[in-house]
């Protein structure tokens, strides 16, 4: 394996429900599983749902915590958007177009899993905006100061 992969662990209160959401809903490939955890392949990256007995509460907004994928092809972003709609997944924020006609232009939507974990899915019109654009201060929906 010569590619660097991303790993993220997150809390869930029910492994079977997590598997249903991430595999049947989002289309992740399941990996190893036991009664305490489930490994998932999300577009080639490793997610691990860990069972917790601690109460999990929703955030008031999309910040500060969320995770997601940045697609390099707009059609892949659109395909997941359509799948999420077809599977009736919970949209925390509907699809929108941020910063149109600027070097930071991108499309985004947020999903919320049954455990209040927030996921953002993006497609940038200009790939250099993913890490570049340091002349700009706008990030997400946070107002520029």
Mean pLDDT of 94-105: 92
pLDDT at 85: 98
Residue 134 domain flag: no
Residue 121 domain flag: yes
What is the CATH number for 87? Answer: 3.10.180.10
pTM for the model: 0.89
Q: Looking at the predicted structure, is the pLDDT value of residue 107 above 80?
A: yes
Mean pLDDT of 75-89: 98
Residues of the domain holding 43: 7-52+66-129
- At residue 143 the predicted structure's pLDDT band, cuts being 50, 70 and 90, is very low
Bridging pattern class, strands 118-124 and 67-71: parallel
Please write the tens of the pLDDT for every residue from 1-47.
568 889 999 999 999 999 999 999 999 999 999 999 999 999 999 99
Mean pLDDT of 112-124: 97
Residue 142 domain flag: no
Please list, in sequence order, all residues whose beta carbon lies within 8 angstroms of the beta carbon of residue 87, skipping any fewer than 6 positions away.
24, 25, 26
SS3 of residue 21 by DSSP: helix
Mean pLDDT of 91-118: 95
The contacts found for 54-62 with CB under 8 angstroms, 24 or more apart, are 54/11, 56/11, 56/12, 56/13, 56/115, 56/116, 57/116, 58/112, 58/116, 59/116, 59/118, 62/92, 62/93, 62/110, 62/118, 62/120, 62/140, 62/141
Q: Count of domains in the chain?
A: 1
């Amino acid at each position: 394996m010569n590619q660097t992969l991303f790993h993220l662990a997150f809390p869930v209160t029910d492994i079977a429900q997590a598997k249903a959401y991430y595999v049947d809903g989002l289309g992740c490939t399941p990996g190893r599983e036991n009664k305490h955890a489930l490994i998932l392949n999300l577009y080639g990256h490793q997610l691990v749902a860990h069972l917790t007995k601690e109460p999990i509460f929703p955030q008031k907004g999309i910040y500060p915590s969320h995770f997601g994928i940045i697609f390099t092809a707009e059609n892949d972003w659109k395909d997941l958007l359509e799948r999420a709609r077809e599977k009736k997944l919970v949209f925390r924020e509907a699809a929108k177009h941020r910063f149109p006609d600027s070097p930071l232009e991108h499309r985004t939507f947020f999903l919320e899993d049954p455990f209040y974990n927030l996921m953002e899915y993006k497609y940038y019109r200009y790939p250099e905006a993913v890490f570049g654009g340091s002349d700009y201060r706008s990030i997400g929906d946070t107002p520029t100061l």
